[in-house]
Structure 1
């Protein structure tokens, strides 16, 4: 799976051969091509303040970087910027003859391995991938997490342990909620042992549980919970509702429906609330997007929910939390709406 956004790929070339190859690639996928002033052609952008500076700026603003040239050049330019494989962009290097495509940085989380295979397939080149799980033709926990858009407490530590177990031949099980079956089956699960029933575990050294649940039954071996972000929350509130109250009520609503807090995917409300301090802080604290909808968009679905004349007079629609959750989840609502202290919260599940 290519986790890189195609529209955010920056490509750098330093030679006439590199420019020729860049033109081939640009005809096959959307990339922003950079080169020097003397090699500039239509469709290319010049290096601003030199190649190194341009590449370093792109490192902070693009999802992926492709260098056509020597691997050493890319390493020397980017070395001071490399931080974390969960946040660094994908970096791929291609020789100017298009014979080898090398996954250099952020192979799993950044999508460099997937991008490498994709580019190699387009060019008829050899993909060069050195991550241990890929070399051993196995899946990886971080790849699974990103394919499922899932979170885990201390994912970095778990990835290190679980991936090492996989390449060492240890038995790592994989269990998932029935409601996630279609999504998980589409993921790369090579090397994991499928577990159908938590009450009847095969012989395992560790277990990954893919679930939205806040609690699991007692599991008598080392295990980790991988939580896909699927739960959305439509929220309506009075002006200047304090953040602590919103946070407490949202946590309570999630707990009431037995959702793990890590499962929260987005918070939604009416456009009038786009700058509401408590809601903005709530989304920031939970590290999820805050999406707003026009009153007209919400009003199309207000007939499905209890309507308040006061709310309609104030914001232009008679219901906020229900319609917002409906739109965020494509109609897959979950449980009853919480109504307390001028706050309404409706949950949904967006698969």
Structure 2
């Protein structure tokens, strides 16, 4: 995780230095700024920009911003950059004596509440969390989705889940994947032979699925898309085949967690443009690495003569997720080949 910390007094800077060390020791990337004029404690960097300018630089490039300061400093500095609970980073405030840790922003999707508890536990402070579902010990659909790497297809309906739970209403649930834990209170698994509740959650790859009159879809990001293409293939040809193939198989674009190919295509403009457009990680491997996979692949003599391996798309996808299932084999159009691998996936609420 990527964290940035700020402190403005000697006491706060000492606490900030200790917290920085702990976060780094737990495999996080941290930068810690201070404005104190005395000798800097270990791990701290002098803040050379005005605070709001520094916040502007980092705001959408970090997972969390942590202030060891008064709440007012944090609120005023982040206010101009707030956009959405789905994109804003977590913001946490700690008083300079380390008595309280406050989850100020993005407590659920941004992971602020969990981080607040972790920091409070480390420094021996009291965590301050104000989200209603947490206070009432209720299921929080946005936290659940974030922990399980799911896309929430309608944030307004996600808010309705919280509202209904707070009002003790039952919410339906269907899942295309095995559920291996008890359900949270007021969630009811919907069987095909019973009348459905008016509102419910569907855990599915199909963003057109409506098992309830009003359906919130949670789409697990568990698809690896393997791609091969001719040199210079336009992005539009790549995009058409991907969107058409996924729609044919009732798979949402939001289910893709990564794109994979061979290293010969590491600079392929059309592929890079597609990944940039849809904000998808792009991973490549050598022909030797892809050839090392054992299994039943769709071979091509021509592809092997060019790349050194008999198949790119199927092998590239499975190389990233060797325990997954090849659910769509090599599919071809206009010099583009794609294959789809589905990761093994189990639902756990607790």
TM-score normalised to the size of structure 2? Answer: 0.87
Give the SS at the match of 2:169: coil
Matched residue, 1:336: 329
Which stretch shifts more, 29-38 or 106-115? 29-38
Residues 1:327 and 2:326 are matched in the alignment: no
Query: Is the 1:328–1:348 contact (alpha carbons within 8 Å) kept by the matching residues of 2?
Result: no
Residues 1:23 and 2:22 are matched in the alignment: no
Query: Is the 2:262–2:312 contact (alpha carbons within 8 Å) kept by the matching residues of 1?
Result: yes
Structure number with higher helix proportion: 1
Matched residue, 1:306: 298
Query: Is the 2:11–2:96 contact (alpha carbons within 8 Å) kept by the matching residues of 1?
Result: yes
How far 1:220 sits from its partner (Å)? 4.9
Matches within 5 A, 1:17-166: 17-30=11-24, 31-39=30-38, 40-153=40-153, 155-166=154-165
How far 1:331 sits from its partner (Å)? 4.1
Q: Structure 1 pair 214/106, CA: closer, same or farther in 2 (3 Å)?
A: closer
How far 1:289 sits from its partner (Å)? 1.9
- After superposition, give the CA deviation of every residue in 1:299-323 in whole Å (9 maximum; x if it has no partner): 2227642333322232232221111
Q: Structure 1 pair 57/133, CA: closer, same or farther in 2 (3 Å)?
A: same
- After superposition, give the CA deviation of every residue in 1:105-156 in whole Å (9 maximum; x if it has no partner): 1111111111111111112211111112112211222222212222243x22
* Cα distance in 1, alignment partners of residues 23 and 106 from structure 2: 20
Number of residue pairs aligned between Structure 1 and Structure 2:
337
Query: Is the 2:17–2:42 contact (alpha carbons within 8 Å) kept by the matching residues of 1?
Result: no
Matched residue, 1:348: 341
Which one of 277, 285, 295 corresponds to residue 269 of structure 2? Answer: 277
Matched residue, 1:171: 170
- After superposition, give the CA deviation of every residue in 1:208-241 in whole Å (9 maximum; x if it has no partner): 010124664x635322221111111111111222
Q: Which runs of 5+ in 1 are unaligned?
A: none
Q: Structure 1 pair 320/101, CA: closer, same or farther in 2 (3 Å)?
A: same
Which stretch shifts more, 219-228 or 89-98? 219-228
Which stretch shifts more, 85-94 or 206-215? 206-215
Give the SS at the match of 1:61: coil
Residues 1:246 and 2:245 are matched in the alignment: no
Matched residue, 1:210: 203
* Cα distance in 2, alignment partners of residues 79 and 341 from structure 1: 48
RMSD between aligned residues = 2.4
* Cα distance in 1, alignment partners of residues 169 and 251 from structure 2: 31
Give the SS at the match of 2:67: strand
Q: Which runs of 5+ in 2 are unaligned?
A: 25-29, 345-350
